[in-house]
Amino acid sequence: MTQKLLLPLDTSFSRLPIAVITGFLGSGKTTLLNKLVRHPDMQRAAVVVNEFGAIGLDHLLVRTAKEDVIVVEGGCVCCTVRGDLVNTLHDLFLRRVRMEIPEFDKLVIETTGLADPAPIIHTLINDPVLKAYYRLDNVVTTVDSVYGYDQLDDHYETVKQAAVADRLILTKTDIAEPEQVARLIARLQKLNPAAVFFKSAEANFNPAQLFSTELYDPKTKNVDVQQWLQAEAYLTAPKAHKSHHQDHDLGYHEPEEKQRHDEHIHSFVVEYDQPLHWKVLNHWFQQLTSLRGKDLLRVKGIAYTVETDLPVVVQGVQHIFQAPSTLPHWHSEERRTQIVFITRNIKQETIEKMLHLLINSQGPQDNCAAASLLLLGN
């Protein structure tokens, strides 16, 4: 008899959503933050920045709540990272509880221009204190429309920032040539098919759209896996990097000596229609994280398991996976496992073969074969 899988219900909807804003140096994060703190939709938000001066608050009406916290006219709270990010976010929440600052209902964290977003995501999904009252909602990446294409070639950080993004904001589109913008979008869509694109120069840009990927809405009781996962985008996207020296859409030819950092990035969804044993899935994730964790840029999805009638939420970044939880019900009559992977130097074929071996494992020899696939394949 199959043992029931006892997992907690997902309660992320009850915690404060966090958007992480990242992007390369000069890509427009400061300009974006200036727009955010002035927008009416940000009146009940907190913005965590590296320094106040960077977002040009001098001409706004502000009051100081403490040395490292100020309140902008309209109610938006701005806070500087003081020491460790965990302590900063913890202190900010305590001030909210003690009513020392306005009761913000969402939070934006700005990273530095050279920052890898993975450690911040690790912290938000794994720190035992923070995950009690915050949840990761979105990763937002700014990309320079003028220089972004070349930056993807020259700096791996920019590729990683774009690959893990839920929202890609193209900046400086008002001064870039239309052909530059089209070429950049075509490349980014291959790199990250499911990302939602915005242009910061557009007058109707709405910051509320940065906070809109809730998996479960307790008010309507709706489960929206499609919006959260965007699996169809990976299934219908053209296969990237078949020829990394050409952009067929625009007839552009790369110089032969130029190597793209993003030719090593693979974005895909693994689907399985039959219910899977959680022990198999857990073993799969353990092998992936222990052997190639640094190359798992982002993993998220829904698992259909033998042990529970409810969908199991899976989410991880590199070596860290958050504890699994379940949703109250399935979003449709159709049940299946759908897990999105964004990897570096790990192909979809390798990951699917691993899962197949583990599902049909007859003993340690098959488990070793699955591990060997990961170590020897790419």
Domain ranges of the chain: 12-227, 260-376
3 — pLDDT class (breaks 50, 70, 90): low
Could you tell me the sign of the dihedral formed by the alpha carbons of 122, 128, 130, 133, in that order?
positive
Q: What is the mean pLDDT of residues 235-256?
A: 48
From residue 372, alpha-carbon distances to 8, 348, 355, 368 in Å are 34, 15, 13, 6
Predicted confidence (pLDDT) per residue in 273-302, tens digit? 999 999 999 999 999 999 999 999 999 999
CATH code 3.40.50.300 for 12-227? yes
Q: Are 113 and 23 in contact (CB under 8 A)?
A: yes
Fold match between 12-227 and 260-376? Answer: no
**At which residue do the structure tokens 């404060």 appear?**
16
Predicted confidence (pLDDT) per residue in 119-149, tens digit? 888 888 888 889 889 999 889 999 999 999 9
pTM here is 0.86
Q: Which residues of 361-373 are buried (b: 16+ CB within 10 A; e: fewer)?
A: beeeeebeebbeb
CATH code 2.40.50.100 for 260-376? no
